[in-house]
């Protein structure tokens, strides 16, 4: 499913012309700075040069190399530029510029298992997040339905755990899809099995709320132990609220089960 293909995403169709072309101005790359032999000055070679410059901390030179490679079709260079703009890494943060580069990556017809799979699946997730919230001071408006389509493509086609988690959240909240706790739990389970701590915590919360208190509390507890810094706060709040509602015996059993989940996984 390509973005902007369906009527559901028609609200964004007017952006296609401006997004398909890679953003920014072409840079004149110093030929000697990349590689001497013209026949070896491939987009891949320039991309690798940019990566080396980035690792040395020479980010302006890296951006120049990435732009050259991106304009000549190198998917990894487009993705790296998108990430740099999204994070303000070596360039001024600009989410709309990032969106356009991510869009160019997501347009690639990449089969699962190919070397570029990670770039495309990550770009789809990034686009989904932008479309879910919108980008202030840009033409990109919040469009949960379009966001869900991007997450679903990354989740179903590329088995991306973050995308599976995001699909689960949208089913749980009824954003872009009909609300369904059962569908949410299904997608959380898929992501949880891949080690996604947010999905593990949300699946635990669903189980706890449905009466499976020990298993649910154990999953939230285990998820908290390896959560990313940005997720620790909300997972801890959810886990502590459940812990306060559980009886002493259930707490002890859940703590023991959490240890087992950490050791043996969530499948």
Q: Mention every residue, 6+ apart, whose C-beta is less than 8 A from residue 124.
A: 106, 150, 151, 153, 154, 158, 160, 163
Lowest-confidence pick of 31-45, 98-112, 218-232: 31-45
SS3 content of the chain, % helix, strand, coil (to 5): 70, 0, 30
Report yes or no: 176 and 9 within 8 Å, Cβ to Cβ: no
Are 137 and 190 in the same domain? no
Kindly indicate the confidence band of residue 30, based on its pLDDT and cuts at 50, 70 and 90.
Answer: low
What domain range includes position 202?
A: 161-267
* pLDDT, mean over the chain: 88
Lowest-confidence pick of 27-31, 53-57, 123-127, 260-264: 27-31
Are 246 and 209 in the same domain? yes
Instruction: Tell me the CA distances in angstroms from 8 to 99, 135, 228, 252, one per residue in order.
Output: 19, 19, 34, 49
Of the three residues 97, 129, 158, the one that is the final residue of a domain is: 158
* CATH number of the domain where residue 34 is located: 1.25.40.10
CA distance linking residue 85 with residue 82, whole number of Å: 5
Number of Cβ within a 10 Å radius of residue 7? 7
Question: How many residues are there in the chain?
Answer: 267
pLDDT attached to residue 38: 42
Report yes or no: 154 and 117 within 8 Å, Cβ to Cβ: no
Number of Cβ within a 10 Å radius of residue 46? 26
Of the three residues 106, 131, 158, the one that is the final residue of a domain is: 158
pLDDT attached to residue 263: 82
Q: Is the pLDDT of residue 6 over 90?
A: no
pLDDT attached to residue 238: 97
Of the three residues 141, 158, 175, the one that is the final residue of a domain is: 158
CA of residue 233 relative to chain centroid, distance: 20
Q: What is the pTM of this model?
A: 0.83
């Amino acid at each position: 499913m390509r973005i902007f293909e369906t009527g559901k995403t028609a609200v964004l169709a007017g952006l296609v012309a401006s997004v398909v072309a890679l953003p920014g101005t072409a840079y004149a790359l110093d030929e000697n700075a990349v590689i001497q032999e013209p026949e070896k000055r491939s987009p891949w070679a320039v991309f690798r040069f940019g990566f080396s410059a980035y690792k040395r901390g020479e980010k302006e030179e890296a951006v120049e190399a990435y732009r050259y490679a991106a304009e000549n079709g190198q998917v990894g260079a487009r993705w790296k530029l998108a990430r740099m703009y999204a994070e303000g890494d070596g360039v001024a943060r600009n989410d709309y510029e990032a969106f356009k580069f991510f869009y160019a990556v997501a347009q690639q017809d990449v089969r699962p298992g190919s070397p570029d799979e990670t770039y495309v699946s990550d770009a789809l997730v990034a686009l989904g997040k932008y479309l879910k919230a919108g980008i202030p001071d840009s033409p990109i408006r919040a469009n949960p339905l379009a966001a869900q389509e991007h997450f679903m493509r990354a989740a179903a086609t590329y088995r991306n755990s973050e995308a599976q988690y995001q699909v689960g959240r949208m089913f749980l909240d009824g954003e872009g899809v009909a609300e369904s706790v059962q569908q949410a739990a299904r997608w959380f389970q898929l992501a949880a099995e891949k080690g996604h701590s947010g999905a593990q915590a949300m699946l635990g919360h669903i189980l706890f709320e449905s009466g499976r208190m020990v298993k649910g509390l154990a999953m939230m507890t285990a998820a908290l132990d390896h959560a990313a810094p940005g997720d620790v706060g909300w997972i801890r709040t959810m886990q502590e609220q459940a812990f306060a509602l559980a009886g002493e015996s259930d707490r002890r059993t859940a703590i023991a089960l959490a240890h087992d989940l950490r050791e043996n996984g969530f499948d």
